[in-house]
Structures are given as structure tokens and as C-alpha cells.
Structure 1
Amino acid sequence: MREIIASGIMVHERPFSIVDDDIFMWAFEYANPNFRRVSRKTARSDCLQLYEAEKNTLKKILNNVSKVSITTDMWKSSHQVVEYMVVTGHFVDASWNLEKRVLNFIKAPPPRRGTDIANAIFKCLRGWGIENKIFSVTVENASYNDSCVRSLKENMSLSSKLVLDGQLFHVRCCAHILNLLVQDGLNTIKDVIHNVRESVKFINSSDARLKSFHEVVELKGLKERKLILDCPTRWNSTFLMLCTASKFKHAFSDYNEKEPHYKYAPSFEDWDKIEKVCKLLEVFNDVTHVISGSDYPTSNLYLAEIQRVKKVIDNAAECFDMFMRDMAKPMKAKFDKYWGECNLLMSIACVLDPRMKLNGIKITFPLLYKTPSDVEKNVEKVKNALQDLYLDYVNLYSQDATSTSGHSEVNVESSTLVDGGQQMDKGMQELLSMVYQSQSIPLTKSELETYLEENLFVPSSTSSFCALAWWKNNSPKFKVLSKMASDILCRRKSH
């Protein structure tokens, strides 16, 4: 019972004084006649004890994890006027389960300096014993985050080698970039959005106005009954507000004639703009759901969704409608700013989807980049990065690589046993190393080569396919490559 009380206090952010509430305690006494009330001091002690127990359990889990990707996000306490940076760890555990765990809340009052935040994050990681296991850091596009990640990268590179020399370390949050693109687009109709928002506020402000509006809606034979007010800082709620309001567009004009105090009715030209914006933002809404939704857990899906965004922006930019071209222009500039250069992590994750492999980037890159030479350059860039990353993992897991039947890697630097169980002489090791390096054809195919040369995997149902599950099932065959895939595919979402 005491553990339940402690859990309830922490989950719902209740003060310890809640244990003084007679009705709250009566519920526990009713459920268990042997229950005895606890004091605030005891409740606090139970919370700390439960926290330490859970922390030790998570430490044991993290101790058996090879790589952890972290995300940072700003949270504001509902009980305090204080902002915190939450640090979340994303990793695949020993059972191939995708895990997301909050590691710490860092008090980050403005003005925020990148080096201070980096030091606080590094202290947090060291407290969990994972400072040498960080694969990537996903952050929003705030200026202090750039200096924070630079400082964090320098600190970590001093004590351990970052994978691919740190090229995958800094990851910009896809959901946040999409938000920036949409905000640029919505800015072109900010006056129209203001009128819709004020219209919804006006109608919903009293029962009399709501009843009067519903009478107009019924006379028009419209099925929609409820107007939705948005949260201005959340574009998807603004999108939902506009989509819902557009279904009432004929009712608004009649209501404007009926209600003398109503001054915010959008014109028919405004409604035309709203419908065009909603059609474009529908794609953004779907993509955000894929990237941020819990139903789509791995990063191999990101590149396909980003090319959808690029396609819809390009179509709007080339539209004969001047309004659509003006709206798409700032969105296109923002897209090129953040995704104009090849995103290695996203691209490698696409290649590690067994349904696509290299075909994924060969098909999407012509849609993302302007010229054939840019496409070819970026395809080669991904291939080289993929090979270099794989070699990093071979060095990390050389014992697993050499034990893979039929897919062994040459690793002459490891301690090799020869006749009589004696260790191979260093001279022989050096000679064999030169012999192997002089061979133009490798002695055996690597796991990466084998994976890329095999036929594409065609699942029976694409809706239920999980790339992480595929790699789990094929981990006996691809012992090293599967470890690399689990670290790459691990979702990095800060929202």
C-alpha cells in the first residue's frame, strides 16, 4: 500500500501533504483494514526509496546495453514557474525491446549557455555509467543546443571513440524541423487564422451564441456539430481547428448576418486559402504521426516520409496559384537549410530496412537533390559511411565477427590460437596482415556485403512489418551487423 501511495504521488506530481487528506486515506483503509496511515515524512522517504530501487534496476539494464541514444527536450512544471531540460535515453535491450527511459531533469533557467548544459548532461550520463556508450544526441534547433552538442562531443571524444568519428552524433529533431516548416507556411495566412480562432472563441463563449450557431448549422443541413479551438503553439491543433472550421464555412457567413456583434467572419477567398493549406498540411500531419507516433517505432521509416514532405512542397512551389507558391517559398528554404545536405543517420537507417536496402536511397535521393551529380555524390557518401560504420562495429565486436560461420571477418590483430594452443607470433601476425591487405579480393564476404547482395525481404503484410524484429530474427546470421542495426534503428524522438 505504501508503495502504491509513493507511486501515485510521483506519477501525478502530488504534494506529500496528500497523505493528510482523510478521504484519500479512507480509500486505502477501506481496501485494506490493516492499513495504517503514514506521515508526510514517511511518504517522502518511501518515494526516495522507490526511486533508488528503480534507478538501480535501470542501471543494471544499461550496464548490458552497448549503445544509448539520448534526446533532450524542455519541460515546464505545472506546479512551479520553472523550466527543466529532460534527458531521455533510447536503446534496444538484451531482448531486442525498444526502450525509452527518462534519465534526469536538469534545471535550465534562461539565459541558457551551451557549455553549462553540456556539463550537466555529461554529469548525468556519468552518473548512469553510460558516458562511453552514447551513440547520438537528438536536440531541437535552438542556438544554445548547437554549442551544447559541440561541447558534449568534445568531452566524450576525449574518453572514448565516437562511432563514425562523430558524424552521427548530432541529430536534429525531425518533428521540430517539420514544426518550423509548417509555422513558416501558416505565417502566410496568419490574419485568416486569427479570424478563425476569434470566431471559434466568440461562438463558444456563451451557450446562447453556441445555440444560435447550431441553428444556422442545422438549417444548412451540416453534420458537423462542434468547433475546435487550437493551441497556437501546436501547429497540428491549428490544422485541426482550420479543417473543422472549413466544414462550417457557409454557416459562418449566415451567422455573420444573424449576429450583429460578430466581426470575424472569414471571406470566401479566405476559406479557399484555408482549404488549400489544409490539403498541404494533411501530409505534414501524417508524417508527424509516423515520426512521433508510438505505432511507428524505428528510424528506417523517416527518409520515406521526408521525401513525401519534399514532394508536396515542390508541387506547391510549382503550382500556378500565386498564393500556394508564396506559401511554399519559405517552407522550401527551411527544408533546404536542414535537409539540403545528406542526413547520414536517416539514410543508413533506410538501407538497413531489409525491404529497401540501397534501393531506398537510390529512389528517394533524386527527389531530394537537384542534380544527378548531387544524387550520385550523396549515394556514394552513404555507401562509404555505411562501410566505415560497419568496420567500426567489426572492431568493437571482433570476437562475434570471427565466430560467425560463413561470414567471418579478417581480424589478425586478435589473439589467435595455433598448433599446441600457443599464441601466434607477432611477426607472423604482421606478415599475414600485409598478405591480407595485398589481396584485391577479400577472403570471405563481410556481413554487410552479404546483406546488401541478398534479395529484398518481401513481408506478407507491410503494415505489421518491424525492421527491428527482422534483425532480431536474423541476428544469428548477422552477428555484428545486427548490433549496428539495433543502434541505428533505435528511435530518436524528443517529443
Structure 2
Amino acid sequence: MEEVSSTPTNGNDDDEGFVDPSSYVKEPTNVTKKQSTKVNDEEMAQDDEEIIGVNGRKLTSVVWKHFDQIKVNGEDKAKCKGCKKLFVGGGKSGTTHLRDHIKRCMKIKNTMDVKQQLLQAMSSKSGSPSLGMGKFKFNAQVSRSELVNMIILHEYPLAIVEHVGFRRFVSSLNPDFKVISRNTVKADILRDYKEERSKLMRFLYVPCPHNKESIIKALVECLKSFNIDEKVSTITLDNCTTNDAVVDFLREKLNSSKLIIGGSYLHMRCCAHILNLIVGDGLEMISGAIEKVRSVVAFCVSTPKRYEKFEDACNYCRIPITKKLTLDCKTRWNSCYDMLQIALMYKDAFTRLDSKVIESMASKMNVKFDKYWNVINVMLSVASVLDPRKKLDIVTFYYRLMYGDCFEIECDRVKILLVDLVHDYEMDASYDDTPFSVTSSFVNVNGKRPMDEFDDIEGLWARHVLQQPPKRTRKCEVETYLLEERLVVNESKFSLLAWWNAESHRFPTLAKIARDILAIPISTVASESSFSTSGRVI
């Protein structure tokens, strides 16, 4: 009887290492054994079933999922579960030839994933699953991440991953997923926490009472802990007397030379709170009418029977019911607007208000608008000018609509502030670059001045000249930027900060100004929370 070499060849033939099973007489041996499926604590600690060879040793290679190890005439052989071919399968033979056969065996391929379309559960924003057609491929890393997110979301104990029932459930879903230990879950949670923490600097906890002293103490400690007390340019706060006192204190304590225009624009008012104050003053003029509408709406929606009568009245007047009456929230002016808008669609009693009432509303709102607009509009206009796609043209356009014939005066204020900013930044740079070199030219080693009185006067003049920034350069840098044509680019792919970073060699001072001005937050409230009429956003 011819024997088969125990060393597989490296040829590319499909029958590489193949032995005809008919040329052997199989001895009664034990074929591949699998561990009992009875579940106990030790078995559930393992994610995959162990494959035991004929010699009682554990077979760790993944190829044994597609081969059975058997004995033929006392020799270890590997029998393909698909085509039933025999291969050399001893412990010293390796598994490379078995892996190559798996790639070529059509019967194994037919039983494996062929990337056919499967129904894949997709999660919507509300969390409810929905079915969609798509190619599904198991990813253990994604499953591990979702497991950690589940534990965080529902505040499950970390030991849940070691529960026998949980492991059995996961194994029934996908045996290929190895459930991680509680220590690994803890490490993943801490890693996610550090990643989220790196996205922000700090949330301040201000202990009660929330007065000026408590807020100042917490804010100063935060600035010093991050070593940014000399890098603060602006602080965006809502409008209240406590915050005004906090800003006044910080303006005195912070280094004024590091602030924009000596700290004149340190306090940036929150636009959402200003808008709320403006609208609130306007609504006070018609508070009586609003209260009447609120009472009528509350009466109609208080009981189903009353709302049914309201629907009958709409049908009688042939008014389609497209929106449901809603009550407003007294602290949210936009909900009051929604209530009035919907009520006007259905009730003839809500007629157009008298023009004198509207005029008084607008007049009171305009006073509040002018109070804050005159403080922050120039800095906001500078931010618009620093956009190379708009420059001074956008300021000129809107100022002409707002101020009429006096728009040129307001535009000049913006240009003057921009020039002053450049001067301020250049002065700061000159102080950083020249103080040591200038003083060393006036004092010798012994601390005595070697020059006479005339030389001292000349030296003072030279020192004064060195400390002055080059005015011609400053003027040239601002004028060069404004005289250039506006940039025409793809709006969706344009990054304003990236453009200034690339053009910093041409406009070094303006680039520094843009870096600081464009980083000023315009509001302390998220935009989706300020102008959304839906639920609250955290």
C-alpha cells in the first residue's frame, strides 16, 4: 500500500496533499469531539466551543471548523467537511495546505457567507429599530462598543458581562463574538470618558449662593488651572447685573495689554438673551391681549368635549383644522408666537391689532435693541470684514439699509477699529521682541551711562522709535487686504480659519486678529435651543 508523504507540497493543484479515501481501510477511531453543550459556569466563561483532536489535545486553529481530524492506518489525517477529501493532518504538518484548500473548495464556499443581501436592523433617532436591505458583515469591535454604550446608557452593573444567562444569550446571537470581561468594560468606559472630556475644557460648578464673589472665585480658579489667565480675549455671558460685576472685576485683574483694545470688548453679550429681552419688552405692551388669547385656548383644550365643540365651530366656518391649539410657556417667547399664530388661523375674534399698538411695541423694542447693538455691532462687523468672501462690502450693504445716509460714518467706525486692532497687536508683538535688546544699549556693565546728556536725548529718541510699530506696514496690510478682490470659492468646502492660516505670511497681524475674533462665541445658548420651537435641547 502506498503511503502519502507527511509534508505537503507547495504546488497549486487542487488535489495538493490529497489522499484517496478508498485506498485506506479506516480503523475504528474517535473522530472530532466537541465539548458537551451543557452549560455551567466554567463553560460559559468560554465564548467558542473547543475542538478536541483524536489525541485529546485542543485544536486552536480556525481551519478545524471545516476539517475533521481522524486516524487512518494509525496516521493523523484531516478530512474536509465539504468535499470529504483527506489531507495530511498531523501536529507537525501545519495548517497552511488546509487553509489553501478552504480557499479553493467550492463546497465550503457554498456554505460560507457569499455576501448576499440580508435584512439588517437599523436604529432610528428615536431608538426604535427598522428593517433595511443591506450587506451585513459582523464586526466584533462594533459589537463591543455597543455593549459598552448599553451598559453606560442603562447603568447596568459591570458584572453583567460575566452572568451565565447573558453569555448564553450573546452566544446564541453570534458565537463569533467574545464577551469581554468586567475589567475590559471598565477600561473601555474610562477611555470613552477621557475622549469626551478632551472635547471640552471644563464645566464649572459654582456653589450657592450664585453671587458675584462665588462666580468670580470659580472662574478665576478655572482660568489659572489651565494657565490661560493671560490668553483671554472675550467672555460671552448673558445679561444680568451679577455677570456685569464679574466682567468688571476680571477687567481689573487681567492683564489689560493682553486684552483686545484694553478690555473694551471683554464682555460679549449673549444674543439669545438680548433677543429674549427685546421681545419681552415688546410683548409687555400687549400682555392684556395675549392673556385673553391664552385663556380662550386653555378653555378649548381643557377637556375633550370642549375641544369637540371647537372643531364643530371650525367646520361651521369652513376652516380646515390643520394644526392643534397649543398653550404657550410664559418663559419662552417663541412658544407665545406659536400660540398666537395658530389661534389666528381659527378664531375670528383675534383680529389685526391697531397700528398705534404695533408702533408702541416697536418703539420700546427698538430702545432695547439700540442699547446693546451699539456695544457689540462694531466687533461683529469686524468679524464679517475678516471674511475674504465678503470683506467691507457686506457691512456697507447692511449699514446702508439700517442707517440710511449715515451709513458711511458707521463703516468708518469699523475700519478705524480694524486699524486700531492691528496697531494693538503690533504693539504687543514689539514689546515681546525688543525690551531686552533696547535696554542693553543704554547701560554698561557697571550700571553707568557712558553717554553725555546729548547722547542720552538721542538714545531716548532711538528707543522711542524702536518701540513704535511700523505705521506704513500696518496701513499697507489693512489696505492691501481690503483692496483685493473678494474671494469666490465653493461655500460648502471653504474653511475661514484654514484660509487665514494659509495667508498668514501675507497678513501676519490680520491673521492673529482673525484667530482671536472669529473664536468669540456669539451666544451662551446653542442655536438649536434658541430658535427651535420643539422641546428643550440639553
Report the TM-score when normalising by structure 2. 0.54
1:483 alignment partner, one of 505, 512, 516:
512
1:333 pairs with 350, 367, 385, which one? Answer: 367
Alpha-carbon distance in 2 for matches of 1:381, 1:46: 54
> Structure 1 residues 36 and 9 mapped into 2: Cα distance closer, same or farther (>3 Å)?
closer
Cα deviation, residue 335, structure 1: 1.5
Q: Report deviation, 1:455.
A: 2.3
Q: Could you say which residue in structure 1 is the equivalent of 2:221?
A: 123
| 1:149 paired to 2:179 | no
User: SS of 2:258's equivalent?
Assistant: coil
Aligned counterpart, 1:168? 265
CA gap of 1:38–1:460, structure 2 versus 1, over 3 A, is: closer
CA contact (8 A) 1:355 1:458 kept: yes
1:271 aligns with 2:351: yes
The offset of 1:171, in angstroms, is: 0.6
Alpha-carbon distance in 2 for matches of 1:346, 1:198 = 42
8 Å contact 1:351–1:358 — kept in the other structure? yes
SS in 2 for 1:171: strand
Of 329, 336, 341, the residue aligned with 1:243 is 341
| Deviations 1:48-82, CA, capped at 9 Å, x for gaps | 67545644x45xxxxxxxxxxxxxxxxxxxxxxxx
**For 1:200-239, what per-residue CA distance to the aligned partner results, in whole angstroms no more than 9, with x for missing partners?**
3333334443344334434514251322332221111221
Mapped to 2, the partners of 1:135 and 1:465 lie a distance apart of 25
Kindly indicate whether the alpha-carbon contact (under 8 Å) linking 1:114 and 1:146 is maintained by their aligned counterparts in 2: no
Secondary structure of the structure 2 residue equivalent to 1:141: coil
Which deviates more, 201-210 or 362-371? 362-371
- Conserved? CA contact 1:19–1:43, under 8 Å: no
**Total equivalences in the alignment:** 361
In 2, Cα distance between equivalents of 1:201 and 1:26: 51
Report the Cα distance in structure 1 between the residues aligned to 2:508 and 2:514, rounded to whole angstroms: 10
Cα offset, 1:325, TM superposition: 1.2
**Aligned positions of 1:409-428 closer than 5 A:** 413=434, 426=441
Q: Match for residue 453 of structure 2?
A: none
* TM-score, structure 1 normalization: 0.58
8 Å CA contact 1:9, 1:15 repeated in 2? yes
> Counterparts of 1:162 and 1:452 in 2: how far apart (Å)?
25
Give the number of the structure whose alpha-carbon radius of gyration is greater.
2
Amino acid in structure 2 at the alignment position of 1:271: T
Q: Report the Cα distance in structure 2 between the residues aligned to 1:186 and 1:411, rounded to whole angstroms.
A: 53
Which structure has the higher relative contact order (CA within 8 Å, separation 6+)? Answer: 1
Q: Measure the CA separation in 2 of the matches of 1:127 and 1:439.
A: 34
Equivalent of 1:135 in 227, 233, 237: 233
Q: Secondary structure at the match of 2:203?
A: strand
Residue 175 of structure 2 corresponds to residue 106 of structure 1:
no
Structure 2: gaps spanning 5 or more residues: 1-142, 443-457, 526-538
Matched, 1:214 2:248: no
Aligned equivalent of 1:382, options 384, 390, 414:
414
Change (3 A) 1:114 1:415: closer
Q: 1-side partners of 2:493 and 2:287: how far apart?
A: 40
| Closer, same or farther: CA 127–7 of 1 in aligned 2, 3 Å | farther
Provide structure 1 residue ranges, at least 5 long, that are not aligned to the other structure: 59-100, 251-266, 277-320, 399-409, 417-422
Deviation at 1:442, TM superposition (A): 2.8
Shift of 1:180: 0.6
AA at the equivalent of 2:500: W
**Please, which moves more after superposition, 441-450 or 347-356?**
441-450
User: Is residue 226 from structure 1 mapped to residue 324 from structure 2 by the alignment?
Assistant: yes
1:183 touches 1:235 (CA, 8 Å); kept in 2?
Answer: yes
Aligned equivalent of 2:290, options 183, 189, 193: 193
- The one-character-per-residue Cα deviations of 1:450-488 (angstroms, maximum 9, x if unpaired) are 111212335576x98764465355445434423321321
- Residue equivalent to 2:280: 183
Sequence identity (%):
32
Task: State the AA in 2 paired with 1:103.
Answer: R
Relative to structure 1, is the Cα distance of residues 37 and 228 closer, same or farther in structure 2, using a 3 angstrom cutoff? Answer: farther
CA apart distance, 1:155:
2.8
Q: Which whole-Å CA distance do the structure 1 matches of 2:509 and 2:297 have between them?
A: 57
1:103 is paired with a residue whose SS is coil
* Residue identity matched to 2:208: P
Deviation of 1:148 after TM superposition, in Å, equals 1.0
Q: Is the 8 A contact 1:138 1:492 kept in 2?
A: yes
Q: Secondary structure at the match of 2:220?
A: helix
CA distance in 2, matches of 1:466, 1:486: 13
Question: Does the aligned pair in 1 maintain the 2:239–2:270 contact within 8 Å?
Answer: yes
